[in-house]
Structure 1
Amino acid sequence: MARKKKKNNYFPKLSPPIMLFGALVVLILGMFGIQTPEFISDYFNSPQSQPTEQQAPAKKNSTNPGPQDNGLAVFTEDELKDAKQGWITYHELDGLGRATGADALIKQKMINTGTSANRNIRPPGFISGLEPYFHSRGHLIGRQFGGSGDDERNLVTLYQNPVNTPYMTEYENRIRRAVDAGETVRYRVTPVYNDKDLMPAEVHLEAQGITAGTQVNFNVTIINEP
Structure 2
Amino acid sequence: MSWLLAIMVVVLLVLSAFVLPKNLFKKKLSKKQQKIISSLFVLGLVALALYVEPSQTNDPGGEGSQSQTTSSSQEDRASGQAENPFPKESQASPNAQHSDEEVQALREEIHHSIPQVPEGQTFLVVNNNVPLFTSSELELTRPYANYGDLDFLQRVTGAEGLLGVELMPDDAREPLTSVTPTGWRQRSYVNVPGGWLYNRCHLIGYQLTGENANSKNLMTGTRWFNTEGMLPIENYVAAYLEETNHHVRYRVTPVFNQFNQLASGVYMEGYSIEDQGQVQFHIFVPNRQPGITIDYLTGESQGPAGPQTSGDLSP
Same fold (TM over 0.5): yes
**What residue in structure 2 maps to residue 68 of structure 1?**
124
**What residue in structure 2 maps to residue 78 of structure 1?**
136
1:90 corresponds, among 125, 147, 158, to 147
Say if 1:204 and 1:220, in contact at 8 Å, map to a contact too. yes
After superposition, the Cα gap between the structure-2 partners of 1:65 and 1:212, relative to the gap in structure 1 and judged at 3 Å, is: closer
2:259 corresponds, among 161, 172, 196, to 196
- Once the two structures are TM-superposed, the CA of residue 159 in structure 1 deviates from its matched residue by 0.3
Say if 1:64 and 1:225, in contact at 8 Å, map to a contact too. no
The number of equivalent residue pairs is 169
Say if 2:81 and 2:240, in contact at 8 Å, map to a contact too. no
Query: Structure 1 CA distance, aligned partners of 2:254 and 2:210?
Result: 15
**What residue in structure 2 maps to residue 178 of structure 1?**
240
- Once the two structures are TM-superposed, the CA of residue 77 in structure 1 deviates from its matched residue by 0.7
After superposition, the Cα gap between the structure-2 partners of 1:145 and 1:113, relative to the gap in structure 1 and judged at 3 Å, is: farther
Say if 1:192 and 1:201, in contact at 8 Å, map to a contact too. yes
- Once the two structures are TM-superposed, the CA of residue 224 in structure 1 deviates from its matched residue by 0.7
Structure with greater helix percent: 2
Query: Structure 2 CA distance, aligned partners of 1:79 and 1:193?
Result: 25
Query: Structure 2 CA distance, aligned partners of 1:174 and 1:157?
Result: 22
After superposition, the Cα gap between the structure-2 partners of 1:124 and 1:33, relative to the gap in structure 1 and judged at 3 Å, is: farther
- Once the two structures are TM-superposed, the CA of residue 113 in structure 1 deviates from its matched residue by 5.3
| Percent of paired sites with the same residue | 27
1:69-119 residue CA offsets vs partner (Å, 9 max, x unmatched): 012111111001111x21010000001100000001111121125844521
Say if 2:168 and 2:210, in contact at 8 Å, map to a contact too. no
2:164 corresponds, among 85, 107, 132, to 107
Query: Structure 1 CA distance, aligned partners of 2:263 and 2:169?
Result: 26
Query: Structure 1 CA distance, aligned partners of 2:240 and 2:162?
Result: 13
Query: Structure 1 CA distance, aligned partners of 2:263 and 2:149?
Result: 15
Q: Any stretches of 5+ residues in structure 1 without a counterpart?
A: 1-28, 35-61
Query: Structure 2 CA distance, aligned partners of 1:117 and 1:157?
Result: 15
- Once the two structures are TM-superposed, the CA of residue 65 in structure 1 deviates from its matched residue by 3.1
Query: Structure 2 CA distance, aligned partners of 1:126 and 1:64?
Result: 23
- Once the two structures are TM-superposed, the CA of residue 149 in structure 1 deviates from its matched residue by 2.2
Q: Secondary structure at the match of 1:104?
A: strand
Task: Kindly indicate whether structure 1 or structure 2 has the higher relative contact order, using CA contacts under 8 Å at least 6 residues apart.
Answer: 1
- Once the two structures are TM-superposed, the CA of residue 131 in structure 1 deviates from its matched residue by 2.4
- State whether structure 2 residue 197 is matched by structure 1 residue 140: no
Query: Structure 2 CA distance, aligned partners of 1:113 and 1:90?
Result: 21
Coordinate RMSD, CA, aligned:
2.4
Query: Structure 1 CA distance, aligned partners of 2:226 and 2:216?
Result: 17
Query: What amino acid is aligned across from residue 158 of structure 2 in structure 1?
Result: G
Q: Secondary structure at the match of 2:221?
A: strand
Q: Normalization by structure 2: what TM-score?
A: 0.50
**What residue in structure 2 maps to residue 219 of structure 1?**
282
After superposition, the Cα gap between the structure-2 partners of 1:189 and 1:30, relative to the gap in structure 1 and judged at 3 Å, is: farther
After superposition, the Cα gap between the structure-2 partners of 1:112 and 1:30, relative to the gap in structure 1 and judged at 3 Å, is: farther
- Once the two structures are TM-superposed, the CA of residue 148 in structure 1 deviates from its matched residue by 2.0
**What residue in structure 2 maps to residue 156 of structure 1?**
219
- Once the two structures are TM-superposed, the CA of residue 129 in structure 1 deviates from its matched residue by 5.9
Say if 1:183 and 1:214, in contact at 8 Å, map to a contact too. no
After superposition, the Cα gap between the structure-2 partners of 1:166 and 1:112, relative to the gap in structure 1 and judged at 3 Å, is: farther
Query: What amino acid is aligned across from residue 102 of structure 1 in structure 2?
Result: A
- Once the two structures are TM-superposed, the CA of residue 32 in structure 1 deviates from its matched residue by 4.1
After TM superposition, list the pairs within 5 Å mapping 1:37-48 onto structure 2: none
Query: Structure 2 CA distance, aligned partners of 1:143 and 1:76?
Result: 26
Say if 1:117 and 1:138, in contact at 8 Å, map to a contact too. no
Q: Secondary structure at the match of 1:211?
A: coil
Shifted more, 125-134 versus 94-103: the winner is: 125-134
Q: Any stretches of 5+ residues in structure 2 without a counterpart?
A: 1-76, 83-117, 191-195, 290-315
Greater Rg, structure 1 or structure 2? 2
